[in-house]
Amino acid sequence: MKKFVPAGLAATALLIGAATTASPMKGAFNHAFGVAATSVTATDIETDAKALFAKVDIDRSGTLDADEFAGHALVLAELARFNRTVTIEGESEMQIRLPDGTPEEVSHTERGSIDAVARRAFHQFADNGEMSEEGFTAYRLSMMDKADTNRDGTLKSHELERFASAMARPAQPRG
């Protein structure tokens, strides 16, 4: 009987994921794992980065290495595409819907590209081969800054889509 519990949980998780992606809607939407984001601030990104850093630091060393950072970028892209949203853990858990037309899966070619872009970004924000929580937060804020087209410090409307798209398919790092 115990052997069926993990399979049942996995099937339930897949059904929940399928149910949340089955009927794409424009604008606001309900999501099983948070509310639709209408705006995201730098404070939300900082809060999210701090919570996420602890999850990405797999070896609990207090810093990220290039493999942890690149692995995170790939997992984030895969989950965003699967769920059709990017999660931000700010004041509350928020979901940013991916723009229509975003591919549903990460191709084998894209995996290699995501890894390469992530490793390049890692070296821009890391110090001596290690990325601190501050460096990780700076990276996430730089991604927000790229999406903030009106430079008001808050992502809204199309800026949210730009940010979600960048997280699902990381853009080239600065410089």
Q: What angle do CA 14, 16, 22 make, to 5 degrees?
A: 95
User: What distance in Å separates the CA atoms of residue 163 and residue 175, rounded to the nearest whole number?
Assistant: 19
**Would you list the domain boundaries of the chain?**
31-168
Q: Which of 114, 131, 102 is nearest to 171 (CA)?
A: 114
Please give the backbone phi and psi of residue 113, each rounded to the nearest 5 degrees, phi first: -65, -45
pTM of the predicted model over 0.85? no
Residue 170 is predicted with a pLDDT of 54
Mean pLDDT, each 10-residue run in order, the chain (175 residues): 39 36 39 72 94 95 97 94 89 87 88 94 96 97 95 94 86 46
Residue 66 is predicted with a pLDDT of 97
> What are the Cα distances from residue 47, in Å, to 24, 29, 161?
28, 23, 20
User: What distance in Å separates the CA atoms of residue 164 and residue 77, rounded to the nearest whole number?
Assistant: 10
